[in-house]
């Protein structure tokens, strides 16, 4: 099988989307499939070509670490604003189409095209490429698009929008065309892949027939197979967040909760590892509140074990947006598989998973008081940090990386067989 993947995010960049596709590509190539990837020169998360990756600048064609062929396309440098990010995605999508038009070498033509979102323009590029080559299209959705466009007026805000209703309506109106275009691409695709059951049901209710769930995986952490509970009751409670500090994660709630718990006498330390659009704001917020927060730059996956070993509980957090009730962050599965207690600031499907498996404590998204109180209780009673085997067993059953990759390959084969 010959597979063409169009993605705005790809290795060697860090990130959940990049890691997900690295695992899938490794499995596909090992199974004998021929795979070409069209992706921008590596520039996430800083918006500039990553240091040491000059050989992967726009126009380069090189072998990936798993044997795939990677075609690098142009990007537009960006800052923390939504507008500059969207402009970057549009530039990359246009150049992806041009790259395919020119040909991918040796008369190579795919049997199937996979376009992966969160880059909305890449969905359009995938549709155009698949139709021009007359091959099936699989649209891979990591988040609840286009539903997240409903709260686009809050993407550049650090809390609920206080703008006038007329202004918010104008923003929604301007983005309605984008949402309609994405829905059309979803309906035209030969298959749509989501990462959650709840969003799959939403898409089916909109008349989309071929909708499949391939969850995010509980990826292994090198050298760290199982978490060991720290039982020193006199020590500070260590709360770890590792990943993208993005607009959807609501980490300002965690910073405020850490400050409040500390103010009320609980010895709590919040460690934020990573980078993202909210990084600078969070640093300013923590400094202003004198919150007990440590900031650590993004680290390679090989170093994550030391941060898990430091932690007592892992923070999994989302903002109080209705569309995010259809999302389950991959870091939840990772923590469950390792047996680490989870401080879950989530709703919807993610909340149900934590409740059913007793994977940790729950707080409502955006509720500073509730999260602070939860950490105060964990600090006072370390026995609450013990996690039942049910959480690890659930992750092994539903979020095993090899099983998910195999399922994805079977889906692609079925799409190709249908023609």
Residues 177, 276, single domain; the answer is no
Strand 293-296 vs strand 360-363: parallel, antiparallel, or unpaired?
Answer: unpaired
Same domain, 253 and 196: no
Number of domains in the chain: 2
Q: What is the pLDDT of residue 312?
A: 96
**φ/ψ bin of 350: left (φ > 0), alpha (ψ from -120 to 50), beta (otherwise):** alpha
* Residues 54, 56, 60: CA angle, nearest 5 degrees: 120
| Same-domain status, 45 and 56 | yes
For residue 113, the tally of other CB atoms under 10 A from its CB is: 28
For residue 319, is it within any domain?
yes
Question: Does 230 reside within a domain?
Answer: no
Question: What are the tokens at 216?
Answer: 């995010």
> In this structure, is residue 40 part of a structural domain?
yes
Domain membership of residue 413 as a residue range = 2-217+400-418
Classify residue 224: in a domain, yes or no: no
Residue 185: the pLDDT is 87
**Do residue 213 and residue 267 come from a single domain?**
no
Please tell me whether residues 164 and 264 are part of one structural domain: no
- The answer to whether 141 and 117 have CB atoms below 8 angstroms apart is yes
Q: How far is CA 155 from CA 81, 108, 277, 291, in A?
A: 9, 40, 10, 24
State the CATH number of the domain containing residue 247.
3.40.50.2000
Residue 228 lies in a domain: no
Q: Residue 284 has what pLDDT?
A: 97
| Domain annotation covers residue 229 | no
**Residues 62, 31: contact at Cβ < 8 Å?**
no
Give residue 143's pLDDT: 80
pLDDT for res 52: 94
pTM of the model as a whole: 0.89
pLDDT at 176: 56
Instruction: Kindly state whether residue 232 falls inside one of the protein's structural domains.
Output: no
Query: Do 385 and 245 lie in a common domain?
Result: yes
Same domain, 91 and 132: yes
Same domain, 194 and 288: no
Residue 227 domain-assigned (yes or no): no
∠ Cα 179 180 184 (to 5°): 115
Claim to verify: residue 251 and residue 189 sit in the same structural domain: no
- Same domain as 188, residue 276: no
Q: What is the pLDDT of residue 171?
A: 44
The residues near 177 (Cβ < 8 Å, ≥ 6 apart) are: none
- How many whole angstroms separate alpha carbon 344 and alpha carbon 322? 16
Q: What's the chain's Rg over C-alpha atoms?
A: 21
Alpha helices (H) in 139-227, listed in sequence order: 165-188, 197-205
What is the pLDDT, as a whole number, of residue 311? 96
Q: Nearest 5°: CA angle at 42, between 80 and 54?
A: 120
Q: Does residue 350 share a domain with residue 305?
A: yes
pLDDT of residue 198: 96
Q: Is the domain of 166 the same as that of 62?
A: yes
Per-residue model confidence as pLDDT tens for the chain (419 residues)? 999 999 999 999 988 899 999 999 999 999 999 999 999 999 998 899 999 999 999 999 999 999 999 999 999 999 878 788 889 999 999 999 999 999 998 889 999 999 998 888 999 999 999 999 999 999 999 887 777 777 766 665 654 444 444 444 444 554 556 777 788 888 899 999 999 999 999 999 988 889 999 999 998 898 888 888 887 777 899 999 999 998 899 999 999 999 999 999 999 999 999 998 899 999 999 999 999 999 999 898 889 999 999 999 999 999 999 999 999 999 999 999 999 999 999 999 999 999 999 999 999 999 999 999 999 999 999 999 999 899 999 999 999 999 999 999 999 999 999 97
- Element containing residue 381 per DSSP (H, E): none
């Amino acid at each position: 099988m010959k597979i063409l993947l169009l993605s705005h995010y790809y290795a060697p960049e860090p990130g959940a989307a990049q890691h997900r596709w690295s695992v899938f590509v490794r499995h596909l190539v090992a199974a004998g499939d021929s795979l070409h990837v069209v992706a921008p020169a590596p520039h996430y998360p800083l918006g500039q070509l990553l240091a040491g990756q000059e050989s992967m600048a726009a126009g380069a064609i090189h072998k990936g670490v798993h044997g795939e062929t990677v075609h690098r396309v142009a990007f537009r440098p960006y800052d923390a604003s939504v507008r500059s990010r969207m402009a970057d995605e549009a530039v990359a999508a246009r150049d992806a189409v041009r790259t395919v038009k020119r040909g991918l070498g040796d008369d190579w033509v795919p049997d199937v095209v996979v376009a992966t979102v969160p880059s909305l323009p890449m969905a359009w590029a995938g549709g155009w490429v698949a139709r021009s080559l007359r091959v099936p299209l699989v649209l891979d959705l990591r988040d609840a698009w286009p539903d997240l466009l409903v709260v686009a007026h809050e993407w550049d805000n650090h809390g609920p929008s206080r703008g006038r209703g007329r202004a918010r309506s104008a923003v929604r109106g301007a983005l309605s065309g984008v949402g309609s275009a994405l829905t059309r691409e979803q309906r035209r695709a030969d298959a749509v892949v989501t990462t959650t059951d709840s969003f799959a049901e939403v898409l089916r209710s909109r008349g989309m027939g071929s909708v499949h769930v391939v969850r995010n995986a509980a990826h292994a952490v090198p050298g760290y197979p199982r978490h060991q509970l720290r039982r020193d009751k006199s020590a500070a409670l260590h709360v770890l967040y590792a990943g993208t500090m993005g607009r959807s994660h609501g980490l300002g709630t965690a910073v405020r909760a850490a400050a409040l718990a500390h103010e009320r006498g609980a010895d709590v330390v919040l460690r934020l590892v990573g980078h993202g659009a909210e990084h600078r704001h969070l640093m300013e917020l923590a400094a202003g509140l004198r919150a007990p927060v440590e900031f650590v730059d993004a680290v390679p996956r090989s170093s994550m074990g030391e941060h898990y070993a430091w932690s007592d509980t892992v923070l999994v957090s989302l903002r109080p947006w209705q569309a995010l009730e259809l999302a389950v962050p991959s870091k939840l599965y990772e923590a469950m598989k390792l047996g680490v207690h989870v401080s879950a600031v989530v709703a919807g499907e993610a909340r149900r998973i934590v409740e059913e498996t007793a994977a940790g404590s729950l707080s409502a998204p955006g509720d500073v008081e509730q999260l602070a109180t939860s950490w105060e209780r964990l600090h006072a009673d370390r026995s609450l940090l013990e996690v039942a085997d049910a959480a690890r067993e659930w992750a092994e059953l539903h979020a095993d990386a090899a099983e998910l990759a195999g399922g994805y390959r079977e889906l692609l084969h079925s799409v190709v067989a249908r023609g």
